[in-house]
Amino acid sequence: MPDRPAYVVAHWGVYQVDTTADRPTYAPFDDDPSPSEIGRSMAETLDDPCRIDRPMVRRGFLEGDGGAARGEDSYVATDWDAALDLAARELGRIRAAHGPEAIYAGSYGWASAGRFHHAQSQLRRFFNLFGGCTRSRDTYSYAAGEVILPHVVAPLERLLGGHTAWAAIAGAGATVLALGGVPLRNAQIDAGGVARHTQAGDIRAALDAGVRVVNVCPVRDRDALAGCEWLAIRPGSDMALLLGLAHTLVAEGLHDTAFLASHCTGFDRFLPYLDGGSDGVAKSADWAAGLTGLDAATIRALARDLARGPSVIAASWSMTRQDNGEQTWWMTVVLAAMLGGIGLPGQGFALGLAAVNSIGSLRRPLSFAGFPIPMRGPAPFIPVARIADMLEHPGAEYRYNGTTRRYPEIRAIYWAGGNPFHHHQDLNRLHRLWKRVGTVIVHEPHWTPLARHADIVFPATLSSERADLSGSTRDTHLFATDPVRPPFGEARDDHAIFAGLAERLTGPEGNTALHEAFTEGLTPGDWLRRMYEETRNRMARHGDEMPDYDTFRARGMVAFSPPAEPPTLLTAFREDPAAHRLSTPSGRIEIFSETIAAWGLDGQPGHPVWRAPVEWLGAAGRYPLHLVTHQPDRRLHSQLDQSSYSRAGKVAGRTPLVMHPDDAAARSLRDGDVLRVFNDRGACLAGLRIDDGLLPGVVTMETGAWLDLDPATPGLCRNGNPNVLTPDRGTSEIAQGPAALSCLVEVEAAPLPIPESRAYAPPEILRR
């Protein structure tokens, strides 16, 4: 161990670890002004009862059950050679018989904050060298936005990399229209780690500087925005509000015609829809009031306030995760363009303020090397949230981003990093269809629901058990992280597991050099040195001098300065749209897109439109409550759900369901009751919290509870995973993103006897 603090980096923070005691203790990084509490349980999960100590093979798989018992079966402990041999035989057999596209290799990238031990990169490098696989495209976070924005303004990655900072908004004294709120629980995390949690301080400084934040959300934002205005909007109607605001701007001559002419294209073709000339329905404030539940006078007054400026139209990432989620982000950009502030300091539009720690914080993009992924030409893919559709309808056609595609027939699933039984929707459907796949292989440190649905389970190490380079490219530091304890049991890191498979497999041309190609003859330590030197060279081109690798490891970190001026999106484009053309076909902001119009989609002209969600309170029937699911505040997604800190936030041992007092009284429910939450897709148990800080008719649940389906009650999750309730349908044929937030349910007291949750109990292990 070097003569300095031992650093461990997680997506929720950086920790200095004391290794002198019997059990390591984790203290937040000294320079973190507002550390997350999630890390307090990291030590206990190093060796909790959920850890997997050696390779495991599902008993039914060995007996040839075809997947019938997946999710409920016992496991046979085995040795590494036997497990690797078995997995290699399956991969080789399937590639030879059906082609590499018959293997779906999934990873969602959140398993590790390290740049070398990044499960998604390790998996993609291995399978690209193996000959390919079917993979996913886009993210559950904002898939609809990822697909629509390049046609409208710019790729989302570019926009997030230079996102407007709260400091710029504070300097402008702007009014922020915050669609979906600004939830600080999300700002605890960032992909690659968070050295300094500054989001709360940045927001408070902006408020103190006179920034007005209007929280447009069915839920009051208690944790971050005390004293801010709250407009309790009907879920799923944000698009109608944006149109009502836009109509008011035009009706009262408040829109910026000069900016629309100089920096945009297609406003003239959007205007007939807005004023009702094309369909007979003016998208006025009165029209929007009927859909949103807001007062028409409030909408008009808000439009006037935004026009007086400065203003920011801010849309949360959650806006994309609903029926027709593409439209809301498109219209966010259009409304900001009509106000004319895009590119002016602290004005324009924002996409996900506080969605992660870096969005809105004073940051500049950094250029860090990652584990290299060789390319072998176009790779087959599916939209990330269409896994179950792929499994149920092999060979079926679907529309995506202007193309007609076809689902492959999947014979094997290989997963390293992430938990589809957390982030996917309609988990009863996924559970049923997952059993159709011939072989499922996963890397997992713990007995998560994914591990319980696998045939071959390779025990993976945790970040605390390996050395790495860690740091987000939207953060302030790069860290040399250290193993603070040996691997648990026989656990191996992802790189070692793939290297072991590569020893047993050939390349796509039948050559025997797959292991050499994958490792390049380098140890993990060699890779870390190479990746650091590449990072050092990249940063030198940006004027940042970094020490040599040995000095870096001895010091443990290197810090990077913030930008000289608080960034604002699209400043160069604002100053000279000809010299700094956007990547859209016109080089301008496309209010009307000829590209999208040419796709010929039903109900989708070349401009943003209102389409009522499939499920919402505007058309509630048997299920009268709108369920809003959100990220948890005591874990990251489903990571550490088994920890004491996560479990301390539950109610009666279940995921909390928050309900308005009027809705609770109508059902004779009391705070702390165990509930049954249900619809036609399934049911889950939850613990009731009563709170007047949400719109009547709306209930909320956090995601991430480990799935625990009750064998005695089909469709019921005993542990409170709300994704047994959410719909598994695409946002639209544009992006096919997840539409989890368009969901109706009913709630009742759980019938007695209430079944015990078994989410954190390992399966039966048969040891030879």
What digits encode the pLDDT tens for the residues 331-348?
999 999 999 999 999 999
Same domain, 745 and 669: yes
pLDDT of residue 20: 85
What digits encode the pLDDT tens for the residues 535-575?
999 999 999 999 999 999 999 999 999 999 999 999 999 99
What digits encode the pLDDT tens for the residues 63-95?
999 999 999 999 999 999 999 999 999 999 999
Q: Tell me which DSSP letter residue 4 carries.
A: S
Q: How many CA atoms lie within 13 A of 147 on its CB side?
A: 32
pLDDT of residue 46: 95
What percent of the residues of the chain are helix, what percent strand, and what percent coil, each to the nearest 5? 30, 20, 50
pLDDT of residue 627: 98
Q: Is residue 580 part of a domain?
A: no
pLDDT-based confidence at residue 2 (cuts at 50, 70, 90) = low
CATH number, domain at 487? 3.40.50.740
Query: Is 108 among the residues known to form the active site?
Result: yes
Q: Is residue 388 part of a domain?
A: yes
Specify which residues 134 forms β-bridges with.
Answer: 104
Q: Is residue 609 part of a domain?
A: no
pLDDT of residue 223: 58
Q: Is residue 593 part of a domain?
A: no
Same domain, 204 and 295: yes
- The share of the chain scoring above pLDDT 70, in percent, equals 99
What digits encode the pLDDT tens for the residues 258-316?
999 999 999 999 999 999 999 999 999 999 999 999 999 999 999 999 999 999 999 99
What digits encode the pLDDT tens for the residues 600-653?
999 999 999 999 999 999 998 899 999 999 999 999 999 999 999 999 999 999
What digits encode the pLDDT tens for the residues 371-414?
999 987 788 999 999 999 999 999 999 999 999 999 999 999 99
Same domain, 114 and 154: no
Mean pLDDT of all residues belonging to the chain: 95
pLDDT of residue 221: 75
Counting every residue, how long is the chain? 768
Q: Which residues span the domain enclosing 375?
A: 56-131+367-559
Axis crossing angle, helix 143-152 with helix 325-339, rounded to the nearest 10: 40
pLDDT of residue 377: 75
Query: Is 12 among the residues known to form the active site?
Result: no
Q: Is residue 658 part of a domain?
A: yes
Same domain, 449 and 553: yes
Q: Which candidate in 104, 110, 287, 330 is catalytic?
A: 110
Q: How far apart are CA 277 and CA 269, in angstroms?
A: 11
Same domain, 301 and 387: no
Residue 224 in this model has a pLDDT that exceeds 70: no
Q: Contact, 134 vs 394, CB < 8 A?
A: no
What digits encode the pLDDT tens for the residues 581-596?
999 999 999 999 999 9
CATH number, domain at 682? 2.40.40.20
What digits encode the pLDDT tens for the residues 733-751?
999 999 999 999 999 999 9
Same domain, 158 and 207: yes
Same domain, 324 and 444: no
Give me the mean pLDDT over the 447-464 stretch.
97
Same domain, 163 and 233: yes
Same domain, 554 and 637: no
- The share of the chain scoring above pLDDT 90, in percent, equals 93
Q: Is residue 618 part of a domain?
A: no
Residue 107 in this model has a pLDDT that exceeds 90: no
Q: Is residue 279 part of a domain?
A: yes
Displacement of CA 565 from its chain's centroid (Å) = 29
Q: Which candidate in 15, 108, 415, 527 is catalytic?
A: 108
Q: Is residue 225 part of a domain?
A: yes
What digits encode the pLDDT tens for the residues 145-184?
999 999 999 999 999 999 999 999 999 999 999 999 998 8
pLDDT-based confidence at residue 225 (cuts at 50, 70, 90) = low
Same domain, 387 and 502: yes
CATH number, domain at 211? 3.40.228.10
Count how many domains the chain has. Answer: 4
16: enclosing H helix or E strand? strand 13-18
Same domain, 652 and 520: no
Distances (CA, A) of 506 to 7, 103, 130, 521: 38, 16, 7, 16
Q: Contact, 757 vs 653, CB < 8 A?
A: yes
692 burial type by CB count under 10 A (0-12 exposed, 13-18 middle, 19+ buried): exposed
Q: How far apart are CA 679 and CA 399, in angstroms?
A: 28
Same domain, 81 and 122: yes
